[in-house]
Amino acid sequence: MTRGIVVAIPARYEQIAAYNLLKLRRHLGCTLPIEIWEVGREISEAARQALTMLDGISWRNVANETGDFQAWQGFQIKAWILRQCRFDEVLIVDADAVLYQNPEILFSDKGYSETGLYLFRDLASWKFNYDPTNPYKGDKFTHYGFLRGRREWLRRVLGNKKPANFPVEWDYIWDDALPSQPVHEALSESGVVVFNKRKQARALDRIFALNRDHRETYQWIWGDKETFWIGALMADANFTLNPEWGYHYPNTEIMAQNYGGKLFYTQKGEVPRLELENPAIAARSFLCRLGRAVQRFYKSLTERDQT
């Protein structure tokens, strides 16, 4: 079976994507072929030329394959790419996902080998949390109406029957009562996904349909992220979740994922290389950032007192 990486690159991420693919080839030692996807003409000529210099790059465009290409511009493009790419085993990598390990190791993961679908967990901090005295206020995290809508939608797409392998983190879907404590709003992340199209052929059809119908699907989940495991459940298939939850890298807004106890990829920024290689430097870096934060705090107090 053929293996490869697919990346959809919108214009706003072309620089970070070019950097990441260069890092993938020259520093992480990844030799997998890479398909770069666009919807219409999204990538600048300069970025295109830079990326074409890398080995094993091919270009695909949704606009060349369907007249309805604009309907796939957004999170939903990953479902199109997954179905249409030439690979049997696919590594989906977001354009803004910065890798720190060679992603080829995921093909050797025991869980992936057994199920054909490997997913990383989202941030554990994304939770529904309701005020029992007034659960119908605020945003989706505090407004019970949103959870009720999600519950009704997900039960319906699963045929109103709870699968045996339904994730326990979302068991509240099958409980009609208001949750008495915070429960996970998000389960999986889709910055990196590993998918075996032969083993998960029926799930692929369901995932495609969920994202094709994104105007409804995305009302109840954030983009494509949860569609992979939901599609697997719709097809009576298993999937593997990374045992570690996603997290914010210390003292930053960078979203991080570990694999095997080591940093695997980040989004919304890159962790400085020296911090990864030397814990002492990481500690000093943290103390420097803390010192600067304290200085800014005292400066703001001084400025306030002077006004």
| Look-up of token digits 């695997």 | 264
With a cut of 50, list the residues of the chain below it in pLDDT.
274, 278, 280-291
Question: Which pairs from 251-259 meet CB under 8 Å and 24+ separation?
Answer: 251/286, 251/289, 251/290, 255/123, 257/120, 257/121, 257/189, 257/191, 257/192, 259/101, 259/105, 259/106, 259/120
Structure tokens at 186: 């998000």
Per DSSP, 136 falls in state: B
What local confidence, expressed as pLDDT, does residue 13 receive? 92
How many Å apart are CA 238 and CA 26, to the nearest integer? 35
What local confidence, expressed as pLDDT, does residue 271 receive? 87
Adjacency order of strands within the sheet including 89-93? 57-61, 34-38, 3-8, 89-93, 188-196, 117-121, 240-241
CA contacts within 13 A on the Cβ side of 293: 8
Q: Find the helix or strand (DSSP H, E) in which 190 lies.
A: strand 188-196
Q: What is the pTM of this model?
A: 0.87
- Cβ burial, residue 271 (10 Å; 0-12/13-18/19+): middle
How many Å apart are CA 168 and CA 87, to the nearest integer? 32
Number of helical (H) and strand (E) elements in the chain, helices listed first: 10, 13
How long a stretch of residues is the chain? 307
**CB within 8 Å of 222: residues ≥ 6 apart:** 186
What local confidence, expressed as pLDDT, does residue 204 receive? 98
- End-to-end CA distance of the chain, in Å? 70
**CB within 8 Å of 66: residues ≥ 6 apart:** 72
**CB within 8 Å of 307: residues ≥ 6 apart:** none
Whether the Cβ atoms of residue 28 and residue 99 lie closer than 8 Å to each other: yes
Structure tokens at 27: 């520093």
User: Which CATH superfamily includes the segment(s) 3-124+186-267?
Assistant: Spore Coat Polysaccharide Biosynthesis Protein SpsA; Chain A (3.90.550.10)
Per DSSP, 168 falls in state: G
What local confidence, expressed as pLDDT, does residue 305 receive? 58
What local confidence, expressed as pLDDT, does residue 70 receive? 87
What local confidence, expressed as pLDDT, does residue 50 receive? 87
